[in-house]
Amino acid sequence: MTQQSLTIMIGADTYPPDVNGAAQFGYRLATAMHHRGHQVHVLAANPNERKNYTRTVNGVVEHRLISHKALTHPTIRICTPWGIWKRVGEILDDVKPDVVHVQCHYIVGRVLLLQARKRGIRVIATNHFMPENLDPFLPFPRWFNDAFAKLSWKDMRFVLERAQVVTTPTPIAARAMKEAGNFKKPVIPISNGINSDDYQLREGEHFDPHPQELRIFFAGRLAVEKNIDVLIEALSLLPQELNHTVLELAGEGEKHAELQEKAQECGVADRVRFLGYVSDEQLREGYLRADVFCQPGTAELQSLVTLEAMSASRPVVLANALALPHLVQEGENGYLFEPNNAADLAQKLAQVLLAPEEERRRMGQCSRQMVETHSAQKTWETFESLYLSNQIYYDFVVSQKK
């Protein structure tokens, strides 16, 4: 822990009770910094109504901002720049943070960054999004979405490059921001981090073997970009000797009803278990009882749930898209499959599930070893250093020139 206690303000366009990787990271960052002795404030949308309020949750001060329902999504709420501009300025003047850490360039992050810069406050910016992530929420023709993505890249660069330091969770995301986003300022890849010990069996803990079935586990929003329909179809394509395999889906989302229909159409409704929203402990248990974890999503900048499954020593089968290939050593801890190809996914799942139990255990141990490089402790220490100075940034720039 740093010797200096800081007042940190985190700006998040998505934050719990939202359920997604960026929201979870914002919460983990805030609570970790609080536990490390800092005063932490969070700016985020009011999840329920058009009203500003402030409350303290587990030592973190939450400033919830007036928000509105998104027209293209049943649960997401958004703020407007004109609706929160004055309030964000008032909060900054009252709190007087040493550093601001924004998690996005869209609304809350944009307004907080610009207001902080006006006051000469140090700003760190972390990008968790690719413009293409918005496609499922833009009910427009392909040409419009492509044009919007280009505009979003330009807008992201305009906003985030005003920060002293820009980070993103993975090297592949940093490369995309440089190549597709035309970022001039170096973008530092810093893992979202994971407390891997949280997902291991505790002393005296065990899970009863389940010889009558094998289990595939997925955790995340039941959303279009997760491609869970492909996973359900793949389940139906597994060879006959794996017809005792079940698929557990932990999470809720707008595609729930459609996915239930998909399971019926594929003839596997009796083998697909919709667990709904699960607690952190239930999620941990889901990883530990699984024989393989699958992430078929194609919009993952890191995939925290995959890191959690790997921490639980599970083999993984992941889509060969964005950051997911960095989490697979082919044949060692799992396999990659061609995105949206149910037949290829079924083949890769079968390779894991038909392997002897000892082989799956070995693959899981490899996952566990790989995830050690994503230590949360290292992540929090890195951000603490960035809050205080640009030294890590300068070191990174020098390393890129070698």
Whether the domain at 7-192+375-401 and the domain at 196-374 fall into the same CATH topology: yes
Average pLDDT of adjacent 10-residue blocks, the chain of 402 residues: 82 88 90 95 92 94 91 75 96 97 93 96 91 60 68 89 92 85 89 82 70 89 89 96 94 90 94 91 91 90 86 94 87 94 96 93 93 87 90 71 62
Q: Are 33 and 98 in contact (CB under 8 A)?
A: no
205, burial (CB in 10 Å: exposed 0-12, middle 13-18, buried 19+): exposed
Q: What is the CATH number of domain 7-192+375-401?
A: 3.40.50.2000
pLDDT of residue 76: 75
pLDDT of residue 73: 64
Give the Cα separation of 40 and 43 in Å (integer).
Answer: 10
pLDDT of residue 313: 92
pLDDT of residue 208: 63
**How much is the CA Rg of the chain, to the nearest whole Å?**
21
* Greatest C-alpha distance within the chain: 65
Give the Cα separation of 113 and 123 in Å (integer).
Answer: 7
- Token pair, residue 67, equals 């928000």
Give the Cα separation of 241 and 136 in Å (integer).
Answer: 36
What is the residue extent of each domain of the chain? 7-192+375-401, 196-374
pTM to 2 decimals? 0.78
Topology at the third CATH level for domain 196-374: Rossmann fold (3.40.50)
pLDDT of residue 210: 67
pLDDT of residue 132: 63
Q: Are 209 and 242 in contact (CB under 8 A)?
A: no
* Cα 270 to Cα 4, 94, 231, 251, 296, distances in angstroms: 56, 56, 15, 18, 21
